[in-house]
Amino acid sequence: MSDSTPSAAPAAEPGAPSAVTSVAAPRPSIVELCLTFAGVSISSFGGVLAWARRMLVENKGWMTAEEFNDLLALCQFLPGPNIVNLCAVFGNRMRGIPGALACLVGLLGPSVVLMIAAGTIYRRFGALPALHGVLSGLAAAAAGVIIAAAVKMAEPLARVRLGPEHAVALTTFVAVGVLRLSLPLVLLVIVPVSIAFAWRRADEK
Amino acid sequence: MRSDPATLTALFLQFAVLSLFAIGGGGSAVPEMQRQTVEIAQSLTDRQFSELFAIAQALPGPNIMFVALLGHFIAGVPGAAVATVAMCGPSCVLACAVSQVVERFRKARWRIAIQAGLVPVTIGLIAASALIIARGADRDWAGLAITATTFAVAYWSRVSPLVAFACAALLGLVGFV
């Protein structure tokens, strides 16, 4: 799998330990990958990231903390669900495409089954008074959690001088959240503008 | 609940597009999911959307699996599978295809500019998600009180949000909301 190891190890001789495995435990098998991510999936109450980090870095030793952070940064940079992308890229680096699929099946499979079960209960009993109240409470709590996430993300903006990034964040919020414009449409306009500002700012530094 | 080929195809295309437009993570796509399923298709209500979102957050597994719940509500078991594959497939293929190239140019100016440029857009999108979930969830003062309390716990303390979920569910069970 030398073609799917990170480029951090250029001109590695055939058979030389790759950047991924040099400091880590032996390369896991397909079955092990799938089972590991299935374990992460069903135990990860309250967000998968912390569980995945603990499993891959601390318990299994398949990655170093730095490798995990680099991979996470990469997946946050790319579009799509971060943790799912991370799982696919990790699987791909370990065992190629079958490895990526094994990790995805492990991470998503148990969760799909769980969601179908929850969805069935919701459809059948969601309107019952007792469950209705529980759902109202849950929804109100979920709103609080996501507002907190939004505020935490926005904090760095509060610490810098008012500039184009504030305008970009506000415009995106209004266009998507208030005016309810199409997301792809909004992004096709605002993302190039925002990147252009960031490019110019890099000039000033 | 309809799981005919036309519904499933539409579902697949919607989420496959969102997979590649969800910048910064899956949460960024919530406003567009709501717009497509509640406002345009009217497959479910505002309130149902927020409730399904909350159920997905309270259960283990990746938060993006909200799409499986949404897909199930709209088109049954095939809908859950289609929504999951569509939301995760395109971005995973892209991530595996370009991860090495992007990693190689980690210090390149274009990559730094793109990364920095996406940050404020992501902030705007998560704020929009928060607004939409709150609008569907908070129907009365009791709901607002729970939202405010959960916000305080999630923002200022290191207590797991699951504790807040459990308390809120209990309050709902005894008829507070």
pLDDT in tens, chain A (205 residues): 334 444 443 443 444 444 444 455 788 999 999 999 999 999 988 779 989 999 999 999 999 999 999 999 999 999 999 999 999 999 999 999 999 999 999 999 999 999 999 999 999 998 888 899 999 999 999 999 999 999 999 999 999 899 999 999 999 999 999 999 999 999 999 999 999 999 998 776 5
Tokens of A4: 């799917």
Nearest CA in chain A to B26: A81
- Structural domains counted in chain A: 2
> Is residue A160 a part of any domain in this protein?
yes
Q: How far is B8 from chain A (nearest CA, A)?
A: 16
Alpha helices by DSSP H, chain B: 5-21, 30-34, 46-58, 66-104, 109-137, 141-156, 161-173
Enter the pTM of the model. Answer: 0.89
* Whether residue A166 is found in the same domain as residue A118: no
> Is residue A128 a part of any domain in this protein?
no
Cβ proximity of B51 and B141 under 8 Å? no
Chain A positions in Cβ-Cβ contact with residue B113 (cut-off 8 Å): 195, 198-199, 202
Chain A positions in Cβ-Cβ contact with residue B144 (cut-off 8 Å): 140
Residue A3 confidence (pLDDT): 41
* Whether residue A81 is found in the same domain as residue A19: yes
* Whether residue A97 is found in the same domain as residue A36: yes
- Residue B106 CA to residue B118 CA, distance in Å, equals 15
Residue A24 confidence (pLDDT): 54
E strand spans, chain A: none
Q: Does the beta carbon of A78 lie under 8 angstroms from any beta carbon of chain B?
A: yes
Contacts of residue A12, Cβ cutoff 8 Å, sequence gap at least 6: A2, A5, A18
Q: Which of residues 140-159 of A touch B (CB under 8 A)?
A: 140-154, 157
Q: How far is CA A38 from CA A83, A127, B6, B55, B89, in A?
A: 13, 32, 32, 20, 18
Residue where a domain stops, chosen among A80, A105, A123: A123
- Residue B62 CA to residue B36 CA, distance in Å, equals 22
* Whether residue A48 is found in the same domain as residue A13: yes
Query: pLDDT by residue (tens digit) across B101-149?
Result: 888 888 899 989 999 999 999 999 999 999 999 999 987 899 999 999 9
Domain boundaries, chain B: 5-137
Q: Which helix or strand (DSSP H or E) is residue A70 part of?
A: helix A65-77
> Is residue A132 a part of any domain in this protein?
no
3 state SS of B147: helix
Residue A106 confidence (pLDDT): 98
> Long-range contacts: A118-127, Cβ < 8 Å, 24+?
A118/B55, A118/B59, A118/B69, A119/B52, A119/B68, A119/B69, A119/B72, A119/B73, A119/B80, A120/B72, A122/B51, A122/B52, A122/B55, A122/B69, A122/B73, A123/B1, A123/B73, A126/B48, A126/B51
Range of the domain at A153: 149-205
> Is residue A14 a part of any domain in this protein?
yes
ipTM here: 0.92
* Whether residue A56 is found in the same domain as residue A119: yes
Q: How far is A37 from chain B (nearest CA, A)?
A: 10
Q: How far is A30 from chain B (nearest CA, A)?
A: 17
What is the DSSP-derived secondary structure letter of residue B61? Answer: S
* Whether residue A118 is found in the same domain as residue A153: no
* Whether residue A9 is found in the same domain as residue A101: yes
* Whether residue A158 is found in the same domain as residue A83: no
* Whether residue A111 is found in the same domain as residue A154: no
Query: pLDDT by residue (tens digit) across B78-102?
Result: 999 999 999 999 999 999 999 988 8
